[in-house]
Amino acid sequence: MSEPIPFIAASAEEAVAQIRARLGPDAVVLNVRPLKAPGLARLWQKPMIEVVACRPAPPPPPAPSPDVSEALAGLREELDEIKQQVELHDSGWRVAPLLEKTGLLPRHAKQILDSVQAGHGELPPSTLAGEIALVRAQLARSWRAPRPCLPNSLHVLAGPAGSGKTTALCKWLTQLTLVEGRLARVWRLDGITSNTAEPLSVYCEILGVPAERSWNAQCRSISEDIGFIDLPGVDWKNPLAIQELAGQFQQYGSPHLHLVLNGAYDISVLLAQVRAFASLPVDDLIITHLDEEPHWGKLWNLTLGSGCPIRLLSSGHNIPGDFCEASAEILFARQFPRARAASATKSI
């Protein structure tokens, strides 16, 4: 909306006439209050009213209509998924349905099983535990480690609205400053929309971490061990919003870009979000809200489907809460808990 403008009038009709003459028929009234004449003048002067109004915000550009080729590609993907699901269940390996049950999409479960069979042979081991061991080894080989964070490096956290970026950043800051004793600095910057994450600034004050609200070219070289840029959530379904984010990202130099995703969302949504941000130089993923997701095995779809490594895993809204570096072993512990328990019992 435009800057609010006050109008003084003797009546509502006069105020409406003034507003329409200056702002047009679509003006929005924000506030109305009576104005009393000062002192004794109120005995003979008629009360006035003050009306605050402004022009409405321009309507957002229409969303691009879905392309027919995209719809056909989606249909072909669904058909291919059904075909691979049938082939997977006909493989004779007992671990095949288990992989799907723990969250792997049929195409990725088949991809892993094909790799296992290429090395072991088409006939499965005599026990399910033997199959799981082979699958775990193949998944571990598919794990991608994120690139190391260099000293005095800058990190940008971006992602869709509701992904938990601010909470993840607060947890990360807690580990760095209180556990590792590192010096940090934070920039809480606006994007297409305002960054309303005021709790981040409050938490930085508690930790003694400087929190800035503006950016300039000199900020690219930081004296602290690590710097973070927090940006407001982006409408990942709007290509123009992604384009605006890409343009804003260029002014920060060459920082690490971490895409923060809500791990409780359906895997089809998560993969679509990764594809939506593919035009940006995303280094790795931070997965949040995992306390709301029982099937951690689905995170393998992100590694296998996008090739993007997962750096950090976050559970719960409490700070510091559960927040750790991602690894294949952590996923295995949640994906195959019975196999882990059986292994521990056997070792005893």
% of the chain beyond a pLDDT of 70: 84
Interatomic CA distance for residues 28 and 25, integer angstroms = 9
Q: Do 117 and 238 have their domain in common?
A: no
Which CATH number do you get for residue 246?
3.40.50.300
pLDDT on residue 279: 92
State the SS3 of 312-347: EEEECCCCCCEEEECCHHHHHHHHCHHHHHHHHHHH
* pLDDT tier at 185, thresholds 50, 70, 90: very high
- Give the pLDDT of residue 238: 92
Residue at 91: amino acid letter: S
Average pLDDT of the chain is 84
Pair (22, 106) in one structural domain: no
The residue among 29 and 315 whose pLDDT is bigger is 315
Both 163 and 311 in a single domain?
Answer: yes
> Do residue 159 and residue 269 come from a single domain?
yes
269 with 325, same domain: the answer is yes
For residues 103-113, average pLDDT: 92
212's enclosing H/E stretch is strand 211-212
Total number of domains constituting the chain = 3
Out of 87-101, 294-308, 331-345, the most confident range is 294-308
* pTM of the model as a whole: 0.72
Q: Does residue 61 form part of some domain?
A: no
Give the single-character DSSP code of 220: G
Checking if the pLDDT of 302 tops 80, the result is yes
- Could you tell me the pLDDT band of residue 36, with boundaries at 50, 70 and 90? confident
Claim to verify: residue 270 and residue 308 sit in the same structural domain: yes
Q: 28: burial class by Cβ within 10 Å (0-12, 13-18, 19+)?
A: middle
Regarding whether 285 and 251 lie in a shared domain, the answer is: yes
109-148 pLDDT, tens per residue?
A: 999 999 999 999 989 998 999 999 999 999 999 999 998 8
Q: What's the confidence (pLDDT) of residue 341?
A: 43
In this structure, is residue 65 part of a structural domain?
A: no
Query: How confident is the model at residue 47, as a pLDDT?
Result: 74
Write the pLDDT tens digit of every residue in 205-254: 999 999 999 888 777 777 788 999 999 999 999 999 999 999 898 888 88
What tokens were used for 328? 């294949």
What domain range includes position 182?
153-335
Mean pLDDT, residues 190-213? 90
281 shares its domain with 135: no
Same domain, 295 and 161: yes
Is the pLDDT assigned to residue 157 strictly greater than 50?
Answer: yes
